[in-house]
Chain A
Amino acid sequence: MAESLVSAEHLSKRFGDLLAVDDVDFQVRRGEVFGFLGPNGAGKSSTMRMIGAVSPISSGSLTVLGMDPAVDGARIRSRLGVVPQDNNLDEELTVYENLLIYGRYFGLPKKVINERIDELLHFAQLDERRKSKVEPLSGGMKRRLTIARGLINTPEMMILDEPTTGLDPQARHLLWDRLYRLKQEGVTLIITTHYMDEAEQLCDRLVIMDKGKIVAEGSPRALIEQHSTREVLELRFPVGTQEQHAAELEGMASRTEILPDRVLLYTDDADRTSEEVHGRGIAPESTVSRRATLEDVFLHLTGRTLVD
Chain B
Amino acid sequence: MALAFPARVVEANARVYRRTFRGSVVSTFLNPVLFLLAMGVGLGKLVDAGTGDSTLALPYLTFLAPGLLAATAMTTAAGDSSFPVMAGIKWRKTYEAVLATPLGVGDIIGGHLGWIAIRLTFVTLVYSGVMIAFGATSIGEGLISVPPAVLTGMAFAGMVTAYTATIKDEQWLANLFRFGITPLFLFSGTFFPITQLPGWLQPVAYATPLWHGVSLCRGLALHIGYTLSPWISVGYLAALMVLGYTLSRRQFTKRLVK
Contact = CB atoms under 8 A, between A and B. Distances in A.
Question: A and B, one complex?
Answer: yes
Interface of A: 15, 49, 52, 54-56, 73-75, 77-78, 80, 82, 84, 86, 88-94, 97, 100-102, 104-109, 149-150, 153
B19 interface: yes
Contact of A107 (B8, B20, B104): B8
A84 B102 contact: no
Interface string B3-47: 100001101100110011000000000000000000000000000
Nearest to B2: A107
Contacts of A82: 100
B96 interface: yes
Given A90-B92, A107-B2, 9 more contacts: A54-B99, A74-B102, A77-B102, A86-B93, A104-B8, A104-B11, A105-B8, A105-B103, A109-B1
A77 B258 contact: no
B175 to A, nearest CB: 26
B100 A52 contact: yes
A92 B21 CA distance: 11
A80 B16 contact: no
Contact of B258 (A15, A73, A86, A109): A15
B102 A107 contact: yes
Given A54-B257, A93-B15, A107-B8, A88 B102 contact: no
A55 B258 contact: yes
B102 A91 contact: no
Given A55-B258, A90-B92, A97-B15, A77 B20 contact: no
Nearest to A153: B101
A75 B102 contact: yes
A84 B100 CA distance: 9
B94 interface: yes
The 9 closest A-B pairs by CB, nearest first: A107-B2, A82-B100, A105-B101, A74-B102, A88-B93, A101-B12, A88-B97, A78-B102, A92-B19
Contacts of B16: 90, 92-93
B143 interface: no
Interface of B: 1-3, 8-9, 11-12, 15-16, 19-20, 92-94, 96-104, 257-258
A108 B19 CA distance: 22
B92 A56 contact: no
13 contacts: A77-B100, A77-B101, A84-B100, A89-B94, A90-B16, A90-B94, A94-B19, A101-B11, A104-B3, A105-B102, A105-B103, A107-B8, A109-B1
B59 to A, nearest CB: 43
A109 to B, nearest CB: 8
B165 to A, nearest CB: 17
A88 B98 CA distance: 10
B12 A105 contact: yes
Contact of B96 (A77, A84, A94, A106): A84
B83 to A, nearest CB: 13
B90 to A, nearest CB: 11
A82 B2 CA distance: 21
A228 to B, nearest CB: 36
Nearest to A13: B258
Contacts of B94: 88-90
Contacts of A105: 8-9, 12, 98, 101-103
A100 B14 CA distance: 13
B101 A88 contact: no
A136 to B, nearest CB: 14
A88 B92 contact: yes
B96 A88 contact: yes
A49 B258 CA distance: 9
A186 to B, nearest CB: 21
Contacts of B99: 54
Nearest to B100: A82
Contacts of B12: 90, 101, 104-105
A17 to B, nearest CB: 14
Contacts of B1: 109
A31 to B, nearest CB: 22
Contact of B19 (A80, A93, A109, A150): A93
A131 to B, nearest CB: 12
Given A56-B257, A101-B12, A107-B8, A74 B104 contact: yes
B221 to A, nearest CB: 37
A52 B96 CA distance: 11
Nearest to A76: B102
B88 to A, nearest CB: 9
B65 to A, nearest CB: 34
